[in-house]
Amino acid sequence: MPELPEIEVVRRGLTPHLENRSIENIWYSGKKLRHPFDINLSKKQLVGQKITKITRRGRYLIVHLTSHFLVVHLGMSGTLGIFDKNSPKARHTHIIFLLDNQMEMRFIDPRRFGSVQVFSAPSSAALEQTVFCRLGPEPFSRACSPEYLHRMAVNKSGAIKNFIMDNHILVGVGNIYANESLFRAQINPQRSAKSLTLKEWQTLHKTIVETLNWAIKCGGSTISDFINASGEGGYFQANFRVYGRADSPCLECGQPIKKVKIGGRSSFYCSSCQK
């Protein structure tokens, strides 16, 4: 469940359950994930450590411990939830962190595109300069301005949709929100990135931020139910304006929404509203 809004909702939901807890034990299914997980080393590094806070960088969740960082990516199908230690283990549970209140944080991921990694960087800043050094700015940050995006798009002849989904340019815009943001900005997803004027970038920047904030707000209502979280919540019932609405009438003009492949991914747009 992995675009920025969902990750942010997970972060907010996990925080009260994890803050000031210690890790007492770790279990691993042994199944291969996107990156190798060394259970013995992880136990050595993390057991006995206290969790101080949870932050997010792009689609990565960062669990700050006394002297290490646990970096989790949910891939395409990953979830993190808090469970009673006696509750049955769901299918595709891969990593379990036993906490000092006898609850567990469980990483569940059917497709196993997700990952859990431990880093021993001396600070968040050091982590940023190493592990996350290739990521673009956060969409809500000052650095991710319309002027920055406009400048980065000079010479980029590829589709604007691919451009805003590229995490080297900015993080956190996946397929759903790329489609939704471009619809709100009335920009055709197939336009080349370099064809956008600064004015259009000002609009698109605004709709990206609005769309992400809107989705976080939708997901926020499910935070109270975080125990035994399956990863599904109110957010999934959110009604998208174009995503998944091929052939349905555009909510603005009534023309049927088109579906095309851009960069191998399904893309939805209104050819009448988006120019």
Partner DNA sequence: CAAGTTACCTGACGGC
Partner DNA sequence: TGCCGTCAGGTAACTT
Chain positions contacting DNA, by CB under 7 A:
1-3, 6, 32, 34, 58-59, 73, 75-77, 91-92, 110-113, 134, 155-159, 162, 165, 167, 174-176, 193, 235-236, 263-266
The reply to whether 3 belongs to the active site is yes
Separation of first and last alpha carbons in the chain: 30
Residue 211, amino acid = T
Cβ nearer to DNA, comparing 94 with 99: 94
Return the bridge partners of 95, or none.
Answer: 28, 107
- Catalytic residue, chosen from 2, 5, 139, 189, is 2
What's the min distance (Å) between Cβ of 21 and DNA? 26
Give the integer Cα–Cα distance in Å for 166 and 152.
11
What's the min distance (Å) between Cβ of 260 and DNA? 11
Give the integer Cα–Cα distance in Å for 250 and 197.
25
Give the integer Cα–Cα distance in Å for 13 and 226.
6
What's the min distance (Å) between Cβ of 100 and DNA? 31
The reply to whether 2 belongs to the active site is yes
Cβ nearer to DNA, comparing 18 with 153: 153
What's the min distance (Å) between Cβ of 186 and DNA? 21
Query: 3-state DSSP call for residue 1?
Result: coil
Cβ nearer to DNA, comparing 12 with 43: 12
Helical ranges in the chain per DSSP H: 4-18, 39-46, 124-130, 146-152, 160-165, 175-185, 198-220, 234-237
Cβ nearer to DNA, comparing 194 with 206: 194
| 139: CB partners within 8 A, 6+ apart | 4, 170, 171, 172, 173, 208, 209, 212
Question: Mind telling me the catalytic residues?
Answer: 2-3
